[in-house]
Structure 1
Amino acid sequence: MATLEQAQVLVTLLENELNARTGEAERLNGYYRGEQPLRFASSEFRDYFAQRYRGFADNWTQVVADSPVERLTVTGVKPAGSDGADRELWRVWQVNGLDADSQLGFLGAGTTARSFVLVWGNPDDDSTPEVTFEDARECVVAYKPGSRRRRRAALKRWQDGHTEFATLYLPDEVWKFQRPLLRHARSFHPTGPGGGMTWRPRDTGDEPNPQPNPLGRVPVVELANRPTLADEPMSDVAGTVAMQDAINLLWSQLFTAADYAAFPQRVILGADMPTTPVLDENGQVVGEKPVPMEKFAVDRVLWITGEQAKIAEWSAANLAAYTDVIEVAVGHIAAQTRTPQHYLIGRMANLSGDALIAAETGLVKRVEEKQLWFGQSLREMFALIALAQGDQAKARAIAAGSVLWADAESRSQAQLADALLKLQQVGFPFEWIAARYGLTPTEIADLLAMKEREAAADPIGAIAAEMGRS
């Protein structure tokens, strides 16, 4: 059990870590949304044109982040020793809307290098715990020394109106704090005596504070994107930022060149500027003034006087030079992030099915890597759900089980049906084939029930059909 002073110290330490991460997470989220400042430009170019191109972005970082997420679909979880997926855990998944919210969690992890999932009891329904995916700017997890999985504590911080809230999760208890919001919730806050920003215990009414943690584990799990042995996990977006900045600069230079030099620029040599007389109130010429150049553009007539007058021109700018370099830069993004070029270039030739599969091999492997790492975290999430339901045996089985995913490879229905038929012919069971097809455990159970009803209604026909398939 921690004392109030120990809990406040731990909140401060975790908050400092959260503050250190928030700036980078904000920047990467901004790039994903297309909020990208003009960089790599000379000071002169920036002084003249930065405001003109403010808000413009040829946003490729969004495509890079989205492309694996659209293939990350959880279809169930299978405990160790079980013959099939667990229907009760899938019910909790569905009730919490995680088929949709999990996509947000996967996208957040890919963009900012990590996201989190929180499991806690539901006061309105003891059998259905509440499960929510959390943003990297609001959560942080501390691990025990020497471990990347054994969680020591977690902090969730958020704001509501003019108050900032924090919840500290420990294996045996949960502390709830609050403080006035003096500045933006995602900026650094001075803490400690005299700072005016020390976290104070929240008034929770009849609920104790701290309250016991019945799970016996820290209920916040981190989904780390591209983790490493010693350093922080890596964002899918961070590696594209520099090339994205270069592409935006090239577009701004192309637009500027198109504005100033896309058409031949003409110059008149050996002639005075055209002028028009200035008359006084009596009609007498008292001076002259240059004729506005806009008049010649409108009238499309220009009178040139002088024996030596002649016209020359500069050639139009070659704008294709810019687009060629931009295409090369986009190709670099495709190669570095294993994003298929047809996702980025938007141009496809008549590719065969095998050629298209080969073009997407890098993306498929990237998705499978995410399934591996995210799957570990989701197993722990499902184990926490089982603990919240009071089923410790299931929690242990889930820890050694597996998360079921939809196929990461994109195939036509004809290709998929042909592959599954061949697998059935060599002896793969129907339930495995149905899961490979992409059906959820609930859909598989419904399909099996339909087959049983068909067999009961026409047993001879069912036997004949089975013999025909074999």
Structure 2
Amino acid sequence: MALSVTEESFISGLRNTLVRSRVATQSLDEYYEGAHKLEQLGLQIPPELEAFSVVLNWPRTTVDAIERRLDVQGFRAGDGKPDTGLWDVWQYNNMDERASFAHTDALALARSYVCIGTNDRDRDYPLITVESPYEMIALRDPRTHRVTAALRSYDPEDGSGQDKRITLYMPNYTRWLIRDGSRWVDEFTPDEHNLGSVPVVPLVNRNRATRRLSGSILEGVSEMKDIIPIADSASRALTGAQLLQETMIAPARGVLGATKGDFVDQNGQQLSAWQTYFGAVWALTNKDAKTFQFDAADMKNIETIVNVYARLASGVASLPVEYFGLNTENPPSADGQRAGETRLIKNAERKQTSFGHSWETVNRFVQRFRTGSWDLANTRLETIWRDAGTPTTAQVTDAIVKRYQVGLVDWETAQERIGETPAAIEQMRTRRQSDFEASFTAGVQRFVEEV
């Protein structure tokens, strides 16, 4: 089926925007992976020593510190109860792992995308995939902020950069196209889902109403943006320190009044310059020879400047200074450590609000694919997150037990906070009811026997 004029316009415009954005996306990806090339002024380090550059991957530290506190534990329906059906679809698509991909890319690369599609093998379990912003772009209505079209452009074969396949997402259908000479043709049968809405949901980091580019969702900002120049400066300082290790960390020695013939071994063989320099003992029989020594370079200044950069990074990234390799002489208590992480915790909670809205939209599409109709009750879906302030299971359990004992939370809420899945909570609820009924029956029987 030939492309319509509207489809060709969407494909051309979206691909052009995607190609322009790839330069910045690739640069951010290299920073996250620690694979970027460190830029030098060239005043101290010659080109032949660039291979010895030291890269401090503080950008990855900044991203991972937040991502580790973004754990989805389930979804609560409009009636306030965990939705086990949505959680089954979540588990079917291995979203326990893939949600982390979406969060990491959104934090590091400014945005990521989640696509929902028909599962031909089992329509009760729609497919959910996480896509990279290097391959995907979306367009949305500036009035409603809803996605009106989306495109994935990729090369699954040789990585040459010449995309040979695209997926076009439109409100009522999805088309998979392959390059055939100068035109695009259908590779598979289009998915006529008739949703009336594009099944693509962006996760945008640091979203704002005023940051837009040609209607495309490019307004996200990488969490690494502010930390990158500081990390580069610290890396250059450590690279300079490595050069000093090779050249100036050992005391410089010199000798005056000696000849080449004075430097021989016990067999009278001539010593090389390096053997002479690094010899443990210098003994010269030449009475006119005089030796001297310059002090080794002091590396303390390098440590001082790196520590300054670490503290700057801590302030900019809203992370405790320990995350950047600095330790205090007196380790803080558990309460003190949590207080020091206040800004990090609040930052993670903001991400939970933003990303949670995206996951709720994803699940509305899942329900639509499963039932064939939009359910107005799904507008009240809620994402259940692990507490950002207590990221480990032991910390969560300790906090919830204390709250449960004083009656601040009920049994079911306590199970949710600890991290039990909706299915596991339902099984425990059934068992508790059975145990209660059995206990009640036994109590009645004893009462009857006593009477």
TM-score under structure 2 length normalisation: 0.86
Query: What is the match of residue 81 of structure 2?
Result: 84
Unaligned ranges ≥5, structure 1: 181-195, 278-288, 464-470
Deviations 1:431-467 (A, max 9, x none): 122222232222221222232233234349999xxxx
Instruction: State how far apart, in whole Å, the 1-side matches of 2:224 and 2:65 are.
Output: 12
One-letter amino acid of the structure 2 residue matched with residue 265 of structure 1: A
Task: Name which of 169, 191, 202 aligns with 2:186.
Answer: 202
Query: What is the match of residue 216 of structure 2?
Result: none
Deviations 1:397-434 (A, max 9, x none): 22332111111112784785465444553463221222
Instruction: State how far apart, in whole Å, the 2-side matches of 1:16 and 1:433 are.
Output: 50
Instruction: State how far apart, in whole Å, the 2-side matches of 1:219 and 1:305 are.
Output: 88
Residues 418/247 of structure 1: CA separation in 2 closer, same or farther (3 Å cut):
closer
Deviations 1:72-104 (A, max 9, x none): 111111232x13011111110011100111011
Contact 2:307 2:326 in 1 (8 A): no
Query: What is the match of residue 97 of structure 1?
Result: 94
Task: Name which of 118, 123, 126 aligns with 1:126.
Answer: 123
Deviations 1:7-66 (A, max 9, x none): 12211110111111111111111111111312243255242421333xx42222221111
- Structural RMSD (CA): 2.8
Contact 2:248 2:296 in 1 (8 A): yes
Task: Name which of 151, 154, 165 aligns with 1:155.
Answer: 151
Task: Name which of 317, 334, 338 aligns with 1:353.
Answer: 334
Question: Shift of residue 177 of structure 1?
Answer: 2.0
Of 35-44 and 327-336, deviating more is: 35-44
Instruction: State how far apart, in whole Å, the 1-side matches of 2:384 and 2:164 are.
Output: 38
Deviations 1:116-146 (A, max 9, x none): 0000010111111000111111111101134
Contact 1:39 1:246 in 2 (8 A): no
Contact 2:111 2:220 in 1 (8 A): yes
Question: Shift of residue 391 of structure 1?
Answer: 5.0
Query: What is the match of residue 35 of structure 2?
Result: 35
> Identical aligned pairs, as a percentage?
22
Query: What is the match of residue 186 of structure 1?
Result: none
Query: What is the match of residue 440 of structure 1?
Result: 421
Query: What is the match of residue 354 of structure 2?
Result: 373
Question: Shift of residue 203 of structure 1?
Answer: 3.8
Contact 1:264 1:313 in 2 (8 A): yes
Q: Are 2:247 and 1:260 equivalent residues in the alignment?
A: yes
Instruction: State how far apart, in whole Å, the 2-side matches of 1:301 and 1:422 are.
Output: 74
SS across alignment from 1:389: helix
Greater than 6 Å deviation, 4+ residue runs:
460-463
One-letter amino acid of the structure 1 residue matched with residue 85 of structure 2: E
Deviations 1:276-310 (A, max 9, x none): 89xxxxxxxxxxx9963234245844426364x43
SS across alignment from 2:222: coil
Unaligned ranges ≥5, structure 2: 212-218, 264-268, 445-451
Which residues of 2 match residues 314-333 of structure 1 at below 5 A?
Answer: 314-333=294-313
SS across alignment from 1:453: helix
Query: What is the match of residue 311 of structure 1?
Result: 291
Contact 1:143 1:152 in 2 (8 A): yes
Deviations 1:336-369 (A, max 9, x none): 1112222322636432221011011111111101
Of 163-172 and 98-107, deviating more is: 163-172
Instruction: State how far apart, in whole Å, the 2-side matches of 1:125 and 1:47 are.
Output: 58
